[in-house]
């Protein structure tokens, strides 16, 4: 019967609960499940059937989780096997290599290779930092298969990218695993252990366009470059493109900043890769401005702002180790850059102190951590977003730029804009939106999985 070997578990849906599955939403909540047949263990594959017994596809299941099933395949006749997992990994890698961005191809850059549900691989995150991969297993279904997935990803990425992978490190130290009955864990999954610190190239300019390749030897020191090299790079690229009529060319590595990344102990898998595009975009406004980078982590936005010609830089974070790396990064990338002020403090308190002291800035970047974990926290989180944005608006000099973000998925872009409006009114400030920002293209969002969109930002100018 429809490719279901005897003894294979089956997940039977309740009447009327098959629509999301047919619409290719990957999650099956406990309330939609009529029964699980053949008592699957957490992470087992199960065939998914509608209430009329029609087979709809395959999921991995975990009856300890609110999300009992995560759909893998909508082909009832083909139970996902090794070839299926490899094909999905290959597709995710192919998407990154097709992006008009040099980061996936450049030997010492970083990008997300697998974005879980949005790449048809629920519960699996793989980020690439230079020659290392970092894997997060968020569910029992991935936990069970993580050793194989690490080896396959290393093999397939090396093959597609033409460079060996040194190792795959696991960073499954995330609270969300508790919902799957899993504890937190980290360690080497495959190959070598990553060094304590990796230096990752983040280009200052958008990618070389179609067909461009980074030098295989990783040449160019990637050190601090001013806007003059930014311009010469751009013109060189467009000349080449015109002359060769978009044939394949090898371009010089774009000017870049080098970001320090601790993949074994840093936040997330080591860096906030979802903000990589925005660090570049926001920095385009930084020339000549006194920049305040709040919730700076290791100072990525600040490095880009410095490279773009910021007049001064102040960075605030509550994490001492993150600011330690921020100091190292400034020394390496921008030794000629004037004094940067690094402040270890609670951002809310620090901004309030500066407001009371009458201090001002020409540009404020706000990239707070996720304030909303569940819908019950939404009202409280909205107040926190309003508070911090109100303080930032108060610190901005006339004509100042605010780049403000929310990575809480439950805060929609519309709601975020409303919160900003409230903050601006209370601050007595008038802000015009110049750009709306989101997560980078290596964090794609499937139409069938809108939950995958979580990062939003607004870049505005004060009247
Ligand atoms: N903008 C950064 C990422 C910021 S992530 C980048 O591009 O890399 C959020 C940061 O906020 C973390 O570094 C965390 O240490 C810091 N943080 C969390 N709560 C804070 C608080 N109350 N005050 C100051 N920093 C805080």
Whole-angstrom Cα distance, residue 159 to residue 222? 26
Cβ(319) to ligand 1 under 6 A? yes
Question: Which has more pLDDT, 222 or 252?
Answer: 252
Contact 258, 200 (CB under 8 A): yes
**For residue 201, which phi and psi values (nearest 5 degrees)?**
-80, 125
Please tell me which residue, 253 or 422, carries the higher pLDDT value. Answer: 422
Tokens of 200: 């990752």
> Would you place residue 247 in the very low, low, confident or very high pLDDT band (cuts 50, 70, 90)?
very low
Assign 206 a pLDDT band (cuts: 50, 70, 90). Answer: low
373-411 pLDDT, tens digit per residue, is: 888 999 999 999 999 999 999 999 999 999 999 999 999
Distance (Å, whole) CA 262 – CA 300:
14
C-alpha 301 to ligand 1 mean position (Å): 12
DSSP string, 138-193: -SHHHHHHHHHHHHHHHHHHHHHHTS---EEEEEE--GGGGGGT---EEEEEEEPP
Q: Find out whether the beta carbon of 277 lies less than 6 Å from any atom of ligand 1.
A: no
One-character DSSP codes across 181-228? T---EEEEEEEPPPPS-EEEEEESSPPP-TT-B--TT--S------HH
* Nearest partner of 350 among 324, 387, 376, judged by Cα: 387
Would you state the pLDDT for residue 221?
Answer: 40
300 lines ligand 1 (CB under 6 A): yes
Ligand 1 lined by 186 (C-beta under 6 Å) = no
Determine the distance separating the centroid of ligand 1 and the alpha carbon of 433, expressed in angstroms: 24
Instruction: Say how far apart CA 170 and CA 206 lie, in whole Å.
Output: 30
- Is residue 202 lining ligand 1, measured as CB closer than 6 Å? no
Using an 8 Å Cβ cutoff, are 286 and 305 in contact? yes
Q: Model-level pTM?
A: 0.90
Pairwise CA distance, residues 436 & 354, whole Å: 27
**CA 317 to ligand 1: nearest atom:** 25
What was the pLDDT predicted at 4?
64
How far, in Å, is the centroid of ligand 1 from the Cα of 212? 35
Report whether pLDDT(240) > 80.
no
| Ligand 1: residue whose CA is nearest its atom 22 | 346
The rounded distance, in Å, linking the Cα atoms of 381 and 364 is 20
Report the 10 Å Cβ neighbour count for 71. 23
pLDDT tens digits for 131-162? 999 999 999 999 999 999 999 999 999 999 99
Instruction: Please indicate whether residue 362, judged by its CB atom, sits closer than 6 Å to ligand 1.
Output: no
* Closest C-alpha to ligand 1, atom 15: 319
How far, in Å, from the CA of 349 to the mean position of ligand 1?
14
Query: Which residues are catalytic, by number?
Result: 407
Q: How far apart are the first and last CA of the chain?
A: 67
């Amino acid at each position: 019967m429809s490719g279901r070997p005897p003894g294979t578990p089956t997940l039977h849906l309740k009447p009327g609960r098959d629509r999301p599955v047919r619409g290719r939403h990957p999650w099956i909540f406990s309330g939609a499940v009529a029964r699980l047949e053949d008592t699957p263990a957490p992470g087992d594959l199960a065939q998914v059937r509608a209430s009329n017994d029609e087979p709809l596809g395959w999921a991995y299941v975990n009856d300890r989780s609110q999300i009992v099933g995560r759909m893998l395949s909508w082909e009832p006749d083909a139970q996902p096997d090794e070839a299926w997992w490899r094909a999905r990994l290959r597709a995710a890698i192919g998407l990154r290599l097709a992006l008009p961005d040099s980061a996936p191809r450049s030997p010492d850059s970083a990008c997300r290779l697998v974005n879980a549900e949005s790449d048809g691989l629920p519960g699996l995150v793989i980020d690439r930092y230079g020659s290392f991969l970092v894997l997060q297993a968020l569910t029992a279904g991935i936990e069970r298969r993580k050793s194989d997935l690490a080896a396959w990803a290393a093999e397939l990425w090396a093959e597609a990218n033409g460079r060996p992978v040194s190792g795959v490190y696991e960073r499954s130290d995330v609270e969300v695993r508790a919902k799957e009955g899993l504890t937190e864990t980290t360690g080497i999954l495959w190959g070598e252990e990553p060094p304590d610190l990796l230096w990752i190239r983040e280009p200052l300019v958008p990618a070389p366009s179609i067909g461009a390749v980074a030098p295989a030897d990783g040449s160019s020191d990637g050190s601090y470059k001013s806007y003059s090299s930014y311009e010469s790079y751009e013109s060189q690229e467009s000349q080449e493109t015109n002359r060769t009529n978009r044939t394949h060319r090898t371009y010089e590595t774009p000017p870049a900043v080098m970001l320090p990344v601790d993949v074994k102990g840093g936040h997330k898998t080591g860096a906030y890769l979802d903000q990589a595009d925005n660090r570049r975009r926001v920095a385009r406004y930084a020339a000549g401005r006194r920049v305040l980078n709040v919730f700076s982590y290791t100072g990525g936005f600040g490095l880009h702002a410095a490279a773009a010609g910021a007049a001064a830089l102040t960075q605030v974070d509550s994490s001492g180790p993150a600011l330690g790396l921020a100091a190292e990064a400034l020394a390496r990338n921008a030794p000629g850059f004037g004094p940067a002020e690094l402040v270890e403090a609670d951002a809310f308190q620090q901004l309030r102190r500066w407001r009371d002291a009458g201090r001002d800035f020409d540009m404020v970047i706000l990239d707070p951590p996720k304030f909303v974990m569940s819908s019950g926290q939404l009202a409280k989180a909205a107040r926190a977003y309003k508070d911090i944005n109100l303080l930032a608006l108060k610190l901005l000099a006339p004509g100042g730029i605010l780049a403000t973000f929310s990575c809480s998925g439950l805060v929609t872009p519309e709601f975020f804009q409303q919160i900003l409006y409230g903050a601006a009114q209370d601050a007595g400030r008038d802000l015009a939106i110049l750009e709306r920002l989101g997560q980078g293209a290596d964090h794609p969002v499937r139409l069938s999985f809108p939950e995958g969109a979580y990062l939003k930002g607004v870049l505005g100018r004060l009247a």
